[in-house]
Amino acid sequence: QINLPVIHQYVDYLVNEQNVKNVFVNGTTGEGLSLSIQERKQLAEEWMCQGKDKLDHVIIHVGALNLPECQELARHAAAIGAGGIAVIAPFFFKPTNKDELVAFLQKVASEAPEVPFYYYHIPSLTGVKIRVEELLDGIKAQIPTFQGVKFSDTDLLDLAQCINKNETGEFEFLYGVDEQLLGALAVGANGAVGSTYNYLGRQTNLMLQAFAKPDLALAQNYQFLTGEFLNFVIKLGFGVAQTKAVMTFVSGIPMGPPRLPLVDASSEFIVKAKAKLDSIVWPDGD
């Protein structure tokens, strides 16, 4: 079951404790693809409601394995006033080239013709390895609402080529591999969407500020410490269930269990992850 009442507390925590004022709803960490259409609509509505006058942007992921569901979710997101929609590539029957992928994305985007549209590039989960650099060529003519990419891949060469082509700055590139964010910033990423920013948002914002100064040594320190924690938990086995467990013990907000086939994080993982995170001394002394 989804727990709608907790979202009010969740929004306040993100804004007040983590200085995070933008959210990406029903994505990977939110298990969007494990939820029913009705559940996804309810969550989107609740985030929009609770985020009113508190959040700057609410982007709703509307990707699904079939086109009609994507289109229905896109129409719903538009109707409730979402600040943007995002779509992953379908990953059972996959697009095999740029033209097939763009055709699919266009059919979704056209259902929300006033809403900024993002392509959610996450080849490690979808298996769709079409380079984003190639995808961008001529995309604005086919998808007028195209705003940018949630780029959740380690291929910084592809990202850099995208940004190099984006001379007018019309597209945004939001990076999604948290442990490599500083590298993505160096090649021109505009921002980030990731699971760790739920509980390390404050530290990541301080890293962004340091990079902007620029104080590269301080920015590196924050990135290295984030990486130290992630390297530790990845070795233990770190996925959506474990992310929920970390967010629960850091925030005090019950994130609940994942939905099958995912299973709860072990108590051993929670003890070790908490001890590791507690042991890290951040540059600002917290």
Contact between 109 and 117 (Cβ < 8 Å):
yes
DSSP string, 56-101: SEEEEE---SSHHHHHHHHHHHHHTT-SEEEEEPPSSS---SHHHH
Please, what is the angle between helix 37-51 and helix 6-17, to 10°? 50
Among 10, 13, 120, 175, the one annotated catalytic = 120
Active site residue 118: no
Q: Which two tokens stand for residue 97?
A: 């080239």
> Quick check: 85 and 62 in contact, CB under 8 A?
yes
Asked if 22 and 56 touch (Cβ cutoff 8 Å), the reply is yes
How is the beta sheet containing 57-61 ordered, strand by strand? 22-25, 57-61, 84-88, 117-121, 146-151, 172-175, 191-192
Neighbours of 131 (CB within 10 A): 16
The reply, when asked if residue 29 is annotated as ligand binding, is yes
Q: Are 88 and 122 in contact (CB under 8 A)?
A: yes
Cα radius of gyration (the chain): 18
Beta strands in the chain (DSSP E): 22-25, 57-61, 84-88, 117-121, 146-151, 172-175, 191-192
Residue with tokens 């995309």: 139
Annotated binding residue 281: no
Among residues 13, 41, 150, 175, the one annotated as catalytic is: 150
List b or e across 232-250, with b for residues whose CB sees 16 or more CB atoms inside 10 angstroms: bbeeeebbbbbbbbbbbbb
Note if 150 is an active site residue: yes
For residue 84, what are the β-bridge partners?
59
Q: Annotated binding residues for pyruvate, as ranges?
A: 29, 193
Q: Annotated binding residues, as ranges?
A: 29, 193
Catalytic positions are 120, 150
